[in-house]
Amino acid sequence: VIFLHGVGDNASSWDMYFEDWAEVLPHTRFVLPTAPERAVTALEGLETTAWYDVEGFEDLREEGFGGIQQSMDVVAGLVKAEEGRGIGRGKVFLGGFAEGAALALYTALQLAPPVGGTFA
């Protein structure tokens, strides 16, 4: 399971949830990366952790895809790393919260062959 957090968050804030999941799913590996820090336009240029820049919250049809595409490449690299560990792509699941959920869903729709599933 590769799980992606939202804007302004980091992987360590999700540790306690995934520790609980690990007890229930002891044979599952959880990968929780932290997004890089970047300026977020919708937050008046605030430097914070974000998978890609969010330009605004009103008309999302106007948003560009450059930033999310770059982050998708990072997530695709994480999927490939799991494959390198001997985990078949069909057993890799992508999930996330808020911006991380959008990135997980976007990535899952772009990958071929597909991952085992997504959740948001």
**How far is it, in rounded angstroms, from Cα 117 to Cα 85?**
19
pLDDT along the chain (120 residues), means of 10: 97 95 96 97 94 80 74 97 97 97 96 96
**How far is it, in rounded angstroms, from Cα 53 to Cα 40?**
5
pLDDT given for residue 10 in this prediction:
97
pLDDT given for residue 63 in this prediction:
63
The contacts of residue 42 (CB under 8 Å, 6+ apart) are 54, 55, 56, 57
